[in-house]
């Protein structure tokens, strides 16, 4: 089961990815999480990555492609994986095609900019695991603490309003062309493509995705 989630920041991809990992026993591979964990290191590269993320810009394709190539070779990916936030550019999509990684299904999350901003305002994350919370829609059991480790939750530096706007700009510039590309090529490559309305509740979207997987991916 190899699934790709595409969508602007704050559309709920990461939140949905969390239950998929548990239910289908496949890892969620989020390039955002991998890169954020890189920024915790003290190398020159990690400093550069931190700066770019903080500007709301995309990291160079080659860096991200290398990270993904390495990650999907790991043993836990044998039964498949869920890519959350990769690919984000046509170039990145071409890179996984080149190494013959066969994708079964792409799910696009669609949400208005107004709702994106509302959702991101309440977002909190546990940086090491990538677990995502929302102070109203998905609060942690203990305020501001991760449910599993009890460690503090943080507000992502790039979740500030002016940075989200930059990230949405990047999304329009690089990822909308990728969506167009997939709409053209998905059928030819036997990939199922779904666009979902991400304005529904977490539970409603979960049901929608469960049906998509049950009826189209697992068949």
Name the site residues for ligand AMP (rule: CB under 6 A): 9, 31-32, 35, 52-53, 56-59, 64, 85-86, 88, 92, 158, 167
Give me the least distance between CB of 175 and ligand AMP, in Å please.
9
Give me the least distance between CB of 215 and ligand AMP, in Å please.
27
3-state secondary structure of 33: helix
Which residue lies nearer to ligand AMP by CB, 18 or 31?
A: 31
Give me the least distance between CB of 9 and ligand AMP, in Å please.
5
Which residue lies nearer to ligand AMP by CB, 109 or 213?
A: 109
Active site residue ranges: 13, 88, 123, 156, 167
**163 with 186: CB under 8 angstroms?**
no
Which residue lies nearer to ligand AMP by CB, 170 or 210?
A: 170
Could you write out the three-class secondary structure of 60-115? CHHHHHHHHHHHCCCHHHCCCEEEECCCCCHHHHHHHHHCCCCCCEEEEEECCHHH
DSSP 173: I
CA-based nearest residue to 9, from 183, 211, 170: 170
Which residue in the shown chain puts its C-beta closest to ligand AMP? 32
Q: How far apart are CA 85 and CA 201, in angstroms?
A: 21
């Amino acid at each position: 089961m190899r699934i790709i989630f595409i969508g602007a920041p704050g559309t709920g991809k990461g939140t949905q990815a969390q239950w998929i990992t548990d239910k289908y026993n496949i890892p969620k591979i989020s390039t955002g999480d991998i890169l954020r964990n890189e920024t915790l290191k003290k190398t020159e590269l990690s400093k550069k990555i931190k700066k770019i993320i903080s500007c709301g810009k995309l990291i160079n394709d080659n860096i991200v492609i290398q990270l993904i190539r390495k990650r999907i070779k790991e043993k836990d990916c044998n039964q498949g994986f869920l890519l959350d936030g990769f690919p984000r550019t046509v170039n990145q999509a071409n890179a996984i095609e080149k190494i013959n990684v066969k994708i079964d299904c792409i799910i696009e999350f669609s949400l208005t900019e107004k709702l994106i901003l509302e959702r991101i305002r309440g977002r909190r994350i546990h940086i090491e695991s990538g677990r995502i919370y929302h102070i109203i829609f998905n609060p942690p059991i203990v305020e501001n603490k991760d449910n599993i480790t009890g460690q503090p939750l943080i507000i992502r530096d790039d979740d500030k309003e002016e940075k989200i706007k930059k990230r949405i700009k990047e999304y329009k510039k690089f990822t909308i062309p990728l969506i167009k590309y997939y709409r053209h090529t998905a059928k030819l490559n036997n990939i199922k493509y779904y666009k979902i309305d991400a304005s529904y509740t977490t539970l409603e979207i979960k049901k929608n995705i469960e049906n998509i997987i049950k009826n189209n991916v697992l068949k």
